[in-house]
Amino acid sequence: MAAEEALTLPAEELTQLARSAGFDLIGFARAEPIPRQVLAEWIEAGHHADMDWLAQRLDARLDVAQLLPGAKTVVALACNYWRSDDASPVARYARGRDYHLTLRDRLRALRRALRSRFPGVADYGSVDTNPVMEKVWAARAGLGFVGKNACFITPEFGSWVLLATLILDAQVDRYAEGPTTDVCGRCQLCLTACPTGALVAERVVDARRCLSYQTIENEGPAPAALRPAYQQIAFGCDVCQDVCPLNVTPVLAGERFSPRPVAGLSVQQLAALTPDAYAQLTPGTPLARAGYDGLRRNAAYALGASKDQAARSLLERLVGDPSPLVADAARWALEQLG
């Protein structure tokens, strides 16, 4: 930002630009480095499972100036995504269009508006997949706080939010003083409700035990000890959010987050998906990340965990599936049926 080095941007105007782009919450934090122990200790404990990419570019994750030289401000952005309490084996965030696409669209619109209004300001945008610690920046920017379930909790929308960031090489005229008040108090509901004990301490998730990791990121068989917890769970897990008292009055999100037909399928229907049906239902949704075999593996575990006798014939057929992953899950499920 050589031509406008001394420029200080008006936070209120940036907030309006972000709201016009579709973001519900906007905050500003100084682009100061994050202490190394915030992430390094979690990784050193092995809590990241085999998500080795989290350990890569660690220095950049901790210092956004390595992503944008001269970084001075991190704009934290959040979108409410809650649509309904309808039962589904799919976590709420994954029931509609892939949120990466939706938030990138909004971030792209914000960056266009920013560059038009302040052409000398450089920026770096991120939605989840870049080496940016979104929850840390959202907390520093005053959007909320990290709860005991390790989810980011906002006063307005509870934890039903998706995060993005925009790094700027210019200052703004107003910064937050830090996270909002932590109101978890003595509540332990999320810690005791987690079906696999993945919350090993307050605000600490061991991904190796987390059903969100197991149903999405794990490409192999799930550990046998965790499979009984899959009841009615095929992609992601909302248990620690569902029990949170701070989520009892959700706010309806916009149509962009409306569920797609695949979210209305039962675990038995997911397990029975044909390649053609999968190819028709999942593109453009987060479920595509699990893959055809991964999604059916998860559904087979769920059928076994719930001891669904009506699924016996389906599981018997899946034992002969070409995918060893699905066949192994079906064999385990049949053993649970007795």
Q: Which residues form the catalytic set?
A: 128
DSSP symbols for 102-149 = HHHHHHHHHHHHHHHH-TT--EEEESSSSS--HHHHHHHTTS-EE-TT
Q: How far apart are CA 162 and CA 80, in angstroms?
A: 7
Query: Three-class SS of residue 73?
Result: strand
Burial per residue of 28-39, b for 16 or more beta-carbon CB atoms within 10 angstroms, e otherwise: bbebeeeeeeeb
Please list the residues that pair with 8 across neighbouring strands: 171
Instruction: State the CB neighbour count (10 A cutoff) for residue 319.
Output: 15
- Quote the DSSP letter at residue 262: G
Q: How far apart are CA 333 and CA 327, in angstroms?
A: 10
Q: What amino acid is encoded at 37 in this protein?
A: Q
